[in-house]
């Protein structure tokens, strides 16, 4: 059916409207573009209405930055210095904790060490007799005679010893894991584990390595300490091995650490600082091996049998530290006595003169004089040392980066 005339007319009107809209669209786009450009110019003028003002503002900003730079630089450099210091301490936390703990433990227990040395090298009725005689002849100062040398030597020796031990322990554990397939560190750190052959052997080997290395450092200091501790008794001795021995022995009396060191060099040369080195090497190698074996194994046993949370209990560290001192001294005490007697005798001889050797006699009573004092002292020293060491090491490790 053909469309009516009214519908045709309506369609014509719609076509005209569409044509008009198409013609008006370009004009609208041009008008909008002009308005946008005008708006952008206005915005630019609002940000910097005058170039001279913009230049002045830039100059003022530069001057402000220059004036504030000196005040902010020290603050930032101070923060950087603190963070660098913390990173350095955290990296060497074993050495830092060992040094601080050595000073504390040495000062608190040195009188017992002095009594031990006197009982090793001279005859007393017992511990109390030695204490009374020392106080009556030398007063309270006598118990701290020669403390400067061990303050320096023990701090240095312990720091180096623990550093060498830690590195040796990880090196030996890596070797055992790589060549034998036994992960010692994983076994020790696993809950409920007991000491194994490989853990004891690894810790003992690392301890022996540390002990043999520190003897080179410790021997001169320990000889100086012993000389100061027995100088008064040495000068009062009646029987001397040869003419002139009394004058040499008396020259060590009432001298400080540095003067005693110089006196040893004067009479025995620089090589005299290493008098008794072989006995010292034997003592430190065996003693340090036993020391670390006992500490690591006893701490593992106490943690296992103590149950959950025992590893964080300070009592475990105190007991393990005390045990390692007692066991190691009980094993090596005759070696230490022979070393002390030989070094004492050498103080009556000049350079080039032969000092009679001292034999190591196990299970003979005279070689164990002062053992009880030494074990008590060692128990106290290591209980204080390891408690402080573990505490400081954990606190340093907990620092934020």
Instruction: Dihedral sign for Cα 382, 388, 390, 393, please.
Output: negative
For residue 90, is pLDDT > 80?
A: no
For residue 75, is pLDDT > 60?
A: no
Q: How far is CA 109 from CA 103, 114, 284, 379, in A?
A: 10, 9, 20, 10
3-state helix, strand, coil in the chain (%, to 5): 80, 0, 20
Percent of the chain whose predicted confidence (pLDDT) is above 70: 73
pLDDT of residue 70: 46
What is the per-residue pLDDT across 247-306, written as a single tens digit (0 to 9) for each? 777 777 767 677 888 888 888 888 888 999 999 999 999 999 999 999 999 988 888 887
Q: What pTM, to 2 d.p., does this model score? A: 0.67
User: For the stretch 290-308, what's the b/e string if a residue is b when 16 or more beta carbons lie within 10 angstroms of its beta carbon?
Assistant: bbbbbbbbbbbbbbbeeee
Q: In angstroms, how far apart are the furthest CA atoms of the chain?
A: 156
Rounded-to-integer distance, Cα 1 and Cα 212, Å:
120
What is the per-residue pLDDT across 161-216, written as a single tens digit (0 to 9) for each? 888 998 999 999 999 999 999 999 999 888 888 899 999 999 999 999 999 999 98
Highest mean pLDDT among 82-86, 91-95, 391-395: 391-395
pLDDT of residue 44: 40
pLDDT of residue 151: 75
| More confident position, 58 or 116 | 116
Task: Tell me which residue of 252, 265, 262 sits closest to 226, measured CA to CA.
Answer: 252
Rounded-to-integer distance, Cα 113 and Cα 154, Å:
12
Instruction: Dihedral sign for Cα 169, 171, 176, 178, please.
Output: positive
pLDDT of residue 72: 46
Task: Tell me which residue of 325, 317, 321 sits closest to 287, measured CA to CA.
Answer: 325
Looking at every residue in the chain, the average pLDDT score rounds to 77
For residue 136, is pLDDT > 50?
A: yes
What is the per-residue pLDDT across 321-337, written as a single tens digit (0 to 9) for each? 889 888 998 899 999 99
Q: How far is CA 259 from CA 117, 252, 371, in A?
A: 20, 8, 30
Rounded-to-integer distance, Cα 130 and Cα 97, Å:
34
Domains of the chain as residue ranges with CATH: 92-391 (1.50.40.10)
């Amino acid at each position: 059916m053909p469309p009516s005339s009214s519908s045709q007319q309506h369609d014509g009107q719609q076509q005209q409207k569409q044509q008009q809209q198409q013609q008006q669209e370009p004009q609208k786009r041009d008008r909008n573009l002009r308005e946008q450009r005008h708006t952008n110019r206005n915005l630019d003028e609002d940000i910097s209405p005058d170039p001279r003002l913009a230049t002045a503002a830039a100059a003022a900003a530069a001057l402000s930055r220059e004036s504030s730079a000196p005040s902010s630089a020290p603050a930032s450099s101070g923060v950087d210095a603190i963070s660098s210091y913390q990173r350095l301490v955290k990296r060497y936390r074993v050495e830092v904790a060992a040094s601080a703990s050595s000073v504390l433990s040495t000062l608190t227990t040195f009188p017992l060490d002095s009594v031990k040395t006197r009982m090793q090298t001279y005859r007393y009725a017992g511990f109390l007799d030695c204490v009374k005689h020392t106080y009556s002849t030398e007063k309270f100062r006598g118990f701290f005679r020669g403390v400067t040398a061990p303050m320096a030597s023990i701090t240095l020796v312990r720091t180096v010893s623990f550093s060498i031990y830690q590195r040796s322990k990880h090196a030996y554990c890596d070797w055992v894991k790589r060549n034998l397939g036994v992960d010692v560190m994983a076994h020790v750190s696993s809950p409920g584990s007991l000491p194994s052959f490989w853990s004891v052997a690894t810790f003992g080997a690392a301890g022996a390595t540390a002990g043999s290395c520190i003897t080179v450092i410790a021997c001169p200091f320990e000889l100086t300490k012993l000389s100061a501790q027995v100088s008064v008794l040495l000068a009062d001795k009646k029987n001397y091995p040869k003419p002139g021995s009394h004058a040499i022995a008396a020259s060590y009396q009432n001298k400080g650490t540095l003067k005693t060191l110089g006196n040893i060099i004067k009479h025995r040369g620089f090589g005299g600082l290493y008098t008794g080195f072989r006995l010292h090497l034997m003592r430190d190698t065996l003693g340090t091996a036993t020391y670390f074996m006992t500490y690591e194994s006893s701490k593992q046993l106490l943690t296992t049998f103590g149950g959950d949370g025992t590893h964080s209990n300070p009592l475990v560290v105190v007991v393990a530290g005390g045990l390692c001192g007692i066991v190691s001294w009980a094993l090596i005490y005759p070696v230490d006595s022979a070393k002390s007697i030989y070094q004492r005798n050498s103080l009556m001889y000049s350079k080039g003169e032969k000092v009679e050797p001292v034999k190591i006699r196990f299970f003979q009573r005279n070689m164990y004089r002062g053992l009880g004092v030494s074990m008590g002292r060692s128990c106290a020293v290591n209980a204080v040392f390891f408690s402080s060491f573990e505490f400081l090491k954990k606190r340093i490790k907990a620092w934020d980066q």
